[in-house]
Structure 1
Amino acid sequence: MKFAYRFSNLLGAVYRQGNLNFSRDGNVVISPVGNRISVFDLKNNTSETLPFSTTKNITCVGLSPDGSLAIVVDEDGAAVLVSLITRAILHHFHFHKPVSSIRFSPDGRKFIVTKENVALMYHAPGKKREFNAFVLDKSYYGPYDETTCIDWTDDSKCFVVGSKDMSTWVFGAERWANLIYYSLGGHKDIVVGCFFEKDSLDLYTVSQDGTLCVWESDTELDGLILKKSQDKPKLPRQGEEEEEEESEERDKVEGEEGEVIRGKVETAKEREKKKNVRYKMMSKHFFNKEGDFNNLTAAAYHKPNHILVTGFASGIFHLHELPEFNLIHSLSISDQRIASVAINSSGDWIGFGCSRMGQLLVWEWQSESYVFKQQGHFNNMASLAYSPDGQYIVTGGDDSKVSLRVKPLTSCGRCPVKVWNTNTGLCFVTFTEHTSSVTNVTFTSSGFVIVSASLDGTVRAFDLHRYRNFRTFTSPRPAQFSSLAVDASGELVSAGAQDSFEIFLWSMQTGRLLEVLAGHEGPVSCLCFSPVQSVLASCSWDRTVRLWDMLDSWQTKETLPLTSDGLAVTYRPDGQELAVATLNGEISFWNPHTATQNGSVAGRHDLQTGRKETDKITAKQSAKGKSFTSLCYSADGESVLAGGQAKFVCIYNIKEQMLIKKFEISCNLSFDAMEEFLDRRKMTEFGSLALVDEGAGDGDGVSISLPGVRRGDMSSRHFKPEIRVSSLRFSPTGRSWAATTTEGLLVYSLDGSLVFDPYDLDLDVTPASIRKQLRLQEWASAIVLAFRLNEKALKQEVLEKVPHEQISVVCGSLPDIYVEKLLGFIATCLEKSGHLQFYMTWAQNLLMLHGQKLKNRSGAILPTLQALQKSIQRHFDDLSKLCDFNMYNIRYAVALSKQRGLKRAAEEETEDQEEEDEELSEEMSEASLEDAEMML
């Protein structure tokens, strides 16, 4: 089995903190998620997480005007230049201080970075051929407090910077004679947003207290005069002119790192003498009504449409048309603080990010409807499960939700179960019936029922056809369920209690309690049904694994003694082996039929846990108390995947009992227990900086976490979550595996890029010889040679050259060893190719002609068959939706034509009736004339 798994996607989190960005075409949202960047395609309804990561959580992202480059900055000021086309890191840079905002100029030649009270202007990377990608051009000083926001004029001549000192500063990007800097006041709170009007120096500034100031400039953009070097007088000045020149020379200093411009408050006399650009406040508007104070937290302005969007701490947003300040509409989209707002290029879609709840919303304001609404688990994920075909992943967590993404998300008052589509990376449904943490989730063998266990004392079954909770299983006495298992038939549901040490069995059909299995002397930590027999394995803290026979009065069949407390148990896919993880860091392998141990792996040293900030012992010593808490067999059963209270996931070969590969799931230093050694920079004379309480002077309020507490003190204002892996699962197709971690739901899959991996290679196996066999119409020989060279593009070329009528003949003449390889290749091609009937014909002929031989190796080729089933099922779902849509359209067209026919018939009938009435009236008039003549 290959182990070239690479990070492919991050699910369960859509937004954490930082600023949102729309792509150039306005169809893609770029959202920072922890120390990674997620890209959401709103047109195709897909998501992708870029493969790079920063050392800490991302705070701001700057996107180039052409959309090809992005500058990503983390909490410490470490920046990464990324190509959004190749998804590769181009350059590393460090600003050495936290960066509040970053913005490219509209022409793409410069970008501004604000940190502390200074604005730094750099040459944009890629515009010049130079060794250093970030070249400092100018430094701008003016504000007395931290800077908050930036905006450029449309022609990139000037930019404006907002600050926490309630002032706004306008700077010239070039050496303008009549504009070097200009300071604006007028606000009584922190400036949240500052925006230039389209093709103008006019300004709008928005502050946190909900105040909008409209500023008008007396100069147009064309009125800016470039300052030339020959304009400087060479003769010495006297009096005020000499002092002015000296102060100007002090304010403008050129050094090796660029030019420094320092703003200063000028007198009215100096301003009048220089005839600089001047600003005048035209109007002042207030968002908050009388007595209603609501902090304004985010703002965005669309210049072509003159629309200002403002988000507030209460989850309300306003749309105003400027400069008249006309309210277009106001809406509450969430009950949480809106942290970021962005508008796409056309001005139709508005993106909102709520960091506290992890929500990402895209709103179309003209139709007043959601384009995109996603919310991840807002607390730790606890468990996950793959559907039998590998298309869906269900997750449950401490926030008490279960999710499948399609329905809009509710607020976080209840705990959800979420279902995610592995192809799109989005959640399409969320079940919120649980009222406490969801401890375990699983699919039934049919793939249409999800079962979840919770600490609220219930086990619930959810239907994926109607998206409802159709069964609720409870115990006679209230119990907290910590483990869950469903048998292969989907009829028996079992759950283990952590307080009463009992196992409860229910019937899925009737929902009734069948039996209560007692015997364990400690909390039941894990349950697992055998995939081939009706046998339940239960693992407990009492250092035993018990095998319960479901067919023989639910009696204990075997009891396996362990060397330490049992934490996890799992069956091999063929049911012939059992793997158990214990508290001493070992993984033991057992034969369930003979109750004998086949081997064990000591994995404590492979975990390599980090040192917590509050730990007083080394990481090596703390690793002695760590262990694996989740186990999963690979799809072929030859290896086992293990994870626990560390940042590493290990894959062990069972036969050799050795470590094959380790995956580092995160390098984010914003989490606790990441660093292996003590950082001397965080040490003070009073001890570790994490143990020193900055708020209390007497030192009594030191917040040291209690033993066993992983989430930190929830009453404290700040705490760092500890990195850990709570659950692991291999995909039934064997092409990927997923892990629920502190960071979210991480998916690792086999890399799809070109890897030279030949099979039985010889000197005569070349692309030229393969194409020669194709010209000679030796189809079977060409296929064999292509699979020996093992290049995906060449294999696809050879297969698609085979005539449709020759497929059955070629399949019959293939050697047995290449049948399985061809079937696996067809399964991967069928997932993305549009030649549906062609590849389906290949699969059908291979299964029909070699079915008996494949049946003898059913265990080895099971992942291949499941991958084929997944591809076929996905096409079936897509085509069935298309057929249903077409059927409804045809019915509508038929009904419409019938309605028009009836209308036309009614019109013809009325016309005939009118003609008859006219004839009758004419006859009556003639008769009346005759009667009149007779009377005369």
Structure 2
Amino acid sequence: MKFAYRFSNLLGTVYRCGNLSFTCDGNSVISPVGNRVTVFDLKNNKSNTLPLATRYNIKCVGLSPDGRLAIIVDEGGDALLVSLVCRSVLHHFHFKGAVHSVSFSPDGRKFVVTKGNIAQVYHAPGRKREFNAFVLDKTYFGPYDETTCIDWTDDSRCFAVGSRDMSTWVFGAERWDNLIYYALGGHKDAIVACFFEASSLDLYTLSQDGALCVWQCDTLPEGLRLKAPTGWKADLLQREEEQEEEEEEGAESETTIRGKATPAAEEQQGKVKYSRVAKYFFNKEGDFNNLTAAAYHKKVHLLVTGFASGIFHLHELPEFNLIHSLSISDQRVASVAINSSGDWIAFGCSGLGQLLVWEWQSESYVLKQQGHFNSMVSLAYSPDGQYIVTGGDDGKVKVWNTLSGFCFVTFTEHSSGVTGVTFTTTGYVIVTSSMDGTVRAFDLHRYRNFRTFTSPRPTQFSCVAVDSSGEIVSAGAQDSFEVFIWSMQTGRLLDVLSGHEGPISGLCFNPMKSVLASASWDRTVRLWDMADSWRTTETLALTSDALAVAFRPDGAELAVATLNSQITFWDPENAVQTGSIEGRHDLKTGRKELDKITAKHSAKGKAFTTLCYSADGQSILAGGMSKFVCIYHVREQILRKKFEISCNLSLDAMEEFLNRRKMTEFGNLALIDQDAAEEGGVAIPLPGVKKGDMSSRHFKPEIRVTSLRFSPTGRCWAATTTEGLLIYSLDAQMLFDPFELDTSVTPVRIRAALRQRDFTRAILLAFRLNERKLLQETLEAVPWDEIEVVSSSLPDLYVEKVLEFLASSFEVSRHLEFYLIWTQKLLMVHGQKLKSRVGTLLPAVQFLQKSIQRHLDDVSKLCDWNRYNLQYALAVSKQRGLKRPSEPLGSEEEAGASEDDDDDSLHLLGGGPGHADAPLA
């Protein structure tokens, strides 16, 4: 249970590629994030990533009409049937080709998949009990090029498919007599989207060059006729009908001949025909403003179109009236979606990794999130574990809320890549270092940069550290090989520590003393005493270049990661090495597509680049140029657990062996940019090359772990990777985790002890069985006036377990005061004894502090709001009491004056903190 960490959430990346879609209630938006799917709950302000992953980046997501099932298809054609209710994979399927789009029929009985130039109709899974969840019904041929989009009619009788060959095809979902297929032209570029009108066969088609065609059908959906069966089925049906007629008519001599309709009757009934009634063009701004995405809401007749320049339009159809024309960014809009009520519109920009949800009637943002443009480099937890700060190569510093999963502030003061971030011990100041030659301090109260530290000569800072008091800031230089020391209070440079002969790769302060450890590429780690004129106390000689350094939480041990894939442990007091771990075999680096050597030989140049001790100091977390993160036991120097952070084959260096099919007599196929011309490909034009030339480069990002941090509560750890900010937390589903269990510990005996009012014995037995519901029942059975007596009789070993249970109960329970009394009595009675075990108890206490702090923030806001409302009501009533005279007013003018005075007082008081528009104090 101690290391049962499982993937729980993905932050830092909100959209990569694929299509956005709203849930059926319209309150959540589903966004593909690489090879995972994130659900953004807009109503409760939370984001959650589903615990599943595909082999490649997700290409399209199809939601069932009831919102229970989703079909997720990746770039390789592998599909997952996912239950959104229980958040698990129900079935795997391979479509044997790249799939462009998936769409369920409105009645939920079928779904269409477009791949290549065909459309395939499958029976929807879950409708029948069957072994294979994906049963192919029909395959439709028609387009000559790749298909691009799908749309269904409201009654699920027909569907339309758009293609790159500038044509749109209308197919019948059943064997209709008057509609088998119908091809529509009229465009001069690839079809981007096609939409049916509500309760009609009328169609709108949009092409990439910004043209909209309105097609009118001469037949209503009810006018579609089922095709008469032929062959043995027709003969069988005819015999049955003749027998029924003979039985009903009896002796009647008149007979009816049934057969095929005559050509004259068929001409009268006619086939379905389309005619183009209008063609509109969007306002184009430049040659590169192609239409890239569109969505249509049939009930409110709202058309939303996104363009390659970042502009989006809102039109009302069929009159094509422009409602809005706004710009999101300078990157192409990759996906557009409208929720069921038609109020919210979601936009996804793959170039920036941006996700926006916009309410078009009030012209306001419901959600505006954007990840780091380039890869994240570093992260840090706040002391209470509520916030995570990340820094990226794009120069941005973002602060994330661990509970909601949203970024609530972004600092953009740095002009180059951020190399290090850290919190001060108060948790309200963030200190960052950057390659632009500055170290900046940000205030989380006012969200501003209040200190900027610079060096006498321009230099690039590679790391940053702050001491435990928060008064001394240090940063290591990459080019001048020096360590700079500043004062947080004054902002002045205190000293420049020189002595290293290579770039500084890591800095770390001793949590208990004013000692700074600096690691360098010159194969040394130097310890500097901040209290004694910043002199070097010790120099630790290493066998290879130092890449990362970390102190144990109690400051009694130092861990150093070196270039030869080793982690060495040192006693900082005596400068003696206490142990080492060989990590080359645990890294298991992959082979890049263009590597000339095998993964085994390339692993010689790979090493751990980031280290982090666990909250209790017994284990250490290590990661680097690999898809694996390792947890080692420090004293035993063994591998405890290894986590594979990604299985996404769209990233480079994921596989140990190369695919032989990519090796040809002309060389590696990875050198040929097959995907560079596609919309989703990352195309980098060479300098001086015009658009349309074939000399564009294509690259795949390499998987790596750049930074690791344990949460102060010890319940989770975070890693900044190529995919984003991954959060791994303890698995809450493992209910049964017994402690000192024997055959005498049973739920029956626990409840019997409760009936006998032997609360201490019942609590001890319940914690030995360690089942959450039973623990809750036992603790809540103790009367509040006996909590002090029971808590004083608990052994020290069980106090830590009770505190952990209380901390986790604060997040879900409504009995806030009752659990606060438990917490207070436990800490008051056992406070002195707990000080001796501060190292092991620190994670539990910090977890408890985080839970109580969250309730304090919520309740204090509510109390302030109520207090201001009461003050406002009292002030208004007092003012009215003063204005009310003992005898009636003499004239209407005086009465009007008193009413005006009341309005003024109301206006003046309403502008205070109690007003709805004013910020809380």
TM-score, normalised to structure 2, is: 0.90
Cross-structure match for 2:644:
664
Cross-structure match for 1:375:
370
Cross-structure match for 1:342:
337
Cross-structure match for 1:799:
779
**Shift, 1:887, TM fit:** 3.5
Query: Counterpart of 1:773 in 2: which secondary structure?
Result: helix
CA gap 1:907/1:12 in 2 versus in 1, 3 angstroms: farther
Contact 1:71 1:82 survives alignment (8 Å): yes
Contact 1:686 1:692 survives alignment (8 Å): no
CA gap 1:891/1:99 in 2 versus in 1, 3 angstroms: farther
Tell whether 2:275 aligns with 1:295.
no
Contact 2:889 2:895 survives alignment (8 Å): no
Cross-structure match for 2:249:
none
| Gapped regions of structure 1 (runs ≥ 5) | 236-267, 402-416, 697-702, 705-714, 917-936
Query: Counterpart of 1:70 in 2: which secondary structure?
Result: strand
| Gapped regions of structure 2 (runs ≥ 5) | 236-262, 677-682, 685-694, 897-921
Deviates more, 1:833-842 or 1:24-33: 833-842
Cross-structure match for 2:154:
154
Cross-structure match for 1:606:
586
Amino acid at match of 2:822: W
Which one of 617, 622, 625 corresponds to residue 645 of structure 1? 625
Query: Counterpart of 1:850 in 2: which secondary structure?
Result: helix
Deviates more, 1:577-586 or 1:809-818: 809-818
- Aligned-pair identity (%): 73
- 1:510-549 equivalence runs, <5 A: 510-549=490-529
Contact 1:643 1:727 survives alignment (8 Å): yes
Cross-structure match for 1:98:
98
Give the whole-Å Cα distance in 1 for the aligned partners of 2:348 and 2:879.
48
**Shift, 1:231, TM fit:** 9.1
- 1:889-900 equivalence runs, <5 A: 889-894=869-874
- 1:232-243 equivalence runs, <5 A: none
Give the whole-Å Cα distance in 1 for the aligned partners of 2:155 and 2:879.
58
CA gap 1:143/1:894 in 2 versus in 1, 3 angstroms: farther
**Shift, 1:834, TM fit:** 2.0
Contact 1:309 1:341 survives alignment (8 Å): yes
Give the whole-Å Cα distance in 2 for the aligned partners of 1:782 and 1:850.
20
- 1:64-79 equivalence runs, <5 A: 64-79=64-79
**Shift, 1:360, TM fit:** 0.4
Cross-structure match for 2:917:
none
TM-score, normalised to structure 1, is: 0.88
Amino acid at match of 1:315: G
Tell whether 2:369 aligns with 1:392.
no
Q: Deviations over 1:305-345 (max 9, x none)?
A: 11111111121111111111111222222222111000001
Cross-structure match for 1:171:
171
- 1:281-430 equivalence runs, <5 A: 281-288=276-283, 294-401=289-396, 417-430=397-410
Cross-structure match for 1:142:
142
Contact 2:296 2:302 survives alignment (8 Å): yes
CA gap 1:233/1:777 in 2 versus in 1, 3 angstroms: closer
CA gap 1:369/1:809 in 2 versus in 1, 3 angstroms: same
Give the whole-Å Cα distance in 1 for the aligned partners of 2:696 and 2:875.
64
Amino acid at match of 2:71: I
**Shift, 1:146, TM fit:** 0.7
Cross-structure match for 2:273:
278
**Shift, 1:130, TM fit:** 0.7
Give the whole-Å Cα distance in 1 for the aligned partners of 2:794 and 2:865.
41
Amino acid at match of 1:115: K
Amino acid at match of 1:643: G
Query: Counterpart of 2:462 in 1: which secondary structure?
Result: strand
- 1:504-515 equivalence runs, <5 A: 504-515=484-495
Query: Counterpart of 2:698 in 1: which secondary structure?
Result: coil
Give the whole-Å Cα distance in 1 for the aligned partners of 2:673 and 2:849.
58
Give the whole-Å Cα distance in 2 for the aligned partners of 1:755 and 1:644.
33
Cross-structure match for 2:422:
442
Query: Counterpart of 1:548 in 2: which secondary structure?
Result: strand
Tell whether 2:198 aligns with 1:218.
no
Query: Counterpart of 1:769 in 2: which secondary structure?
Result: helix
**Shift, 1:885, TM fit:** 2.9
**How many pairs align?**
853
Amino acid at match of 2:762: A
Once superposed, what is the RMSD of the aligned Cα atoms? 2.3
Cross-structure match for 1:407:
none
Query: Counterpart of 1:839 in 2: which secondary structure?
Result: helix
Contact 1:754 1:791 survives alignment (8 Å): no
Q: Deviations over 1:249-293 (max 9, x none)?
A: xxxxxxxxxxxxxxxxxxx99996871111111111111259787
**Shift, 1:908, TM fit:** 6.1
Which one of 793, 796, 806 corresponds to residue 813 of structure 1? 793
Query: Counterpart of 2:661 in 1: which secondary structure?
Result: helix
Give the whole-Å Cα distance in 1 for the aligned partners of 2:501 and 2:508.
18
Amino acid at match of 2:163: S
Q: Deviations over 1:81-102 (max 9, x none)?
A: 1111111111111112111110
Amino acid at match of 1:514: L
Cross-structure match for 2:803:
823
Q: Deviations over 1:33-79 (max 9, x none)?
A: 00000000001110000110000000100001111111001111111
Amino acid at match of 1:543: R
Amino acid at match of 1:56: Y
Give the whole-Å Cα distance in 1 for the aligned partners of 2:318 and 2:880.
50
Q: Deviations over 1:608-660 (max 9, x none)?
A: 00000001111111111110000000000001000000000000101111111
Cross-structure match for 1:458:
438
Q: Deviations over 1:158-177 (max 9, x none)?
A: 10111111111100000111
Contact 1:504 1:513 survives alignment (8 Å): yes
Query: Counterpart of 1:837 in 2: which secondary structure?
Result: helix
- 1:913-924 equivalence runs, <5 A: none
Contact 1:101 1:113 survives alignment (8 Å): yes
Amino acid at match of 1:792: R
**Shift, 1:842, TM fit:** 0.6
**Shift, 1:882, TM fit:** 1.9
Give the whole-Å Cα distance in 1 for the aligned partners of 2:335 and 2:266.
38
Cross-structure match for 1:590:
570
Cross-structure match for 1:919:
none
Q: Deviations over 1:871-916 (max 9, x none)?
A: 1111111112222333444455456656777888799646466899
Q: Deviations over 1:493-543 (max 9, x none)?
A: 000001000000000000000000000010010000000000000000110
Tell whether 2:623 aligns with 1:628.
no
Cross-structure match for 2:720:
740
Deviates more, 1:606-615 or 1:806-815: 806-815
Contact 2:215 2:274 survives alignment (8 Å): yes
Q: Deviations over 1:682-710 (max 9, x none)?
A: 111122212356799xxxxxx99xxxxxx
Q: Deviations over 1:435-487 (max 9, x none)?
A: 00000000000000000000000000000000000000000000100011100
Cross-structure match for 2:454:
474
Deviates more, 1:780-789 or 1:898-907: 898-907
Contact 2:673 2:698 survives alignment (8 Å): no
Which one of 624, 642, 657 corresponds to residue 677 of structure 1? 657
**Shift, 1:757, TM fit:** 1.4
Contact 1:589 1:597 survives alignment (8 Å): yes
Contact 2:417 2:434 survives alignment (8 Å): yes
Tell whether 2:535 aligns with 1:555.
yes
Give the whole-Å Cα distance in 1 for the aligned partners of 2:203 and 2:348.
25
Amino acid at match of 1:396: G
Give the whole-Å Cα distance in 2 for the aligned partners of 1:32 and 1:356.
14
Cross-structure match for 2:855:
875
Contact 2:558 2:572 survives alignment (8 Å): yes
Contact 1:754 1:792 survives alignment (8 Å): no
Amino acid at match of 2:751: R
Contact 2:675 2:698 survives alignment (8 Å): no
CA gap 1:694/1:860 in 2 versus in 1, 3 angstroms: closer
Query: Counterpart of 2:92 in 1: which secondary structure?
Result: strand
